[in-house]
Structure formats: C-alpha cells, structure tokens
Amino acid sequence: MTDARPSILFVCVHNAGRSQMAAGFARALGGDRVQVLSAGSEPADSINPVAVEAMAEVGIDITGTRPRVLAVNDVRTSDAVVTMGCGDACPVFPGKRYEDWELTDPAGLPLEAVRPVRDEIRARVEHLLADLIG
C-alpha cells in the first residue's frame, strides 16, 4: 500500500451499531487523515435505526453505510483494530494495534440508552485518533 494514512478497523458482531457509530465518528473527526473500515463477525441485514438516530443528533449521517462481513484482509491491512464484543472472531496478526472496547450493545435499546454509548464511543475515537494522527 502506498497510502501513508493510518487505517482503523472497527469490528462488532452485527456491524449495525457500535462499530458503525465508531466509524462515523472516525470519518467525521479524522477526515482525510485516516482510513476507516467497519465490519462484523455476523453482520445484520441493516444498520440499527436507533444508532442512526443517535448519530444524527450529533450531526453525523451513517444512513449510507451497510453492515458487511469481516474479511481477513481488512485486519491485515489495518494499523489499528478495535473490537467491540466480537470475541475471538477477529483474526490476529503480529504487529497490529488491537483494542477491545467493552461497550453496551445498543441493539434493542431505546434512544435514551443509546446516547451514553454513543458518547463513550466518541470519547474513545477521539483518544484513538489523537494517538494515531495527533
């Protein structure tokens, strides 16, 4: 790869809530300074509508994204891999930065319960971006 930008992969089981919100924040806050991927070990058919609504409240539109299955190459080509509840489904490659974020799964939760999850994700993404791109 000739692209010098750091690449972040966000992974959760269904790729419908937490990882999509994290990817949305990383794209919005990191802009063209970072590459962002998200995937799931068992992707859902669509994005969690409450996650979409929670992100819209902070001005980030994730309606154009779709859950996708985790590919080994996604992990191989990423500088940082952030997992959120997918356990051992994510392959491990030496030399990669791995973080496991323990976050409440927003699936089936009302908007009031998703907001704190969204805010925690934002704080963690901000910290990760500060480490990767300054």
Q: Which are the catalytic amino acids?
A: 12, 86, 90
Residue 5: C-alpha distances to residues 30, 80, 98, 114 (Å): 10, 12, 17, 31
Specify burial of residue 11 (Cβ count, 10 A radius: 0-12, 13-18, 19+). Answer: buried
Q: How many CA atoms lie within 13 A of 31 on its CB side?
A: 3
CA Rg, the chain, in Å? 14
Q: Check if the beta carbon of residue 70 is closer than 8 Å to that of residue 53.
A: no
Which tokens go with 115? 């907001």
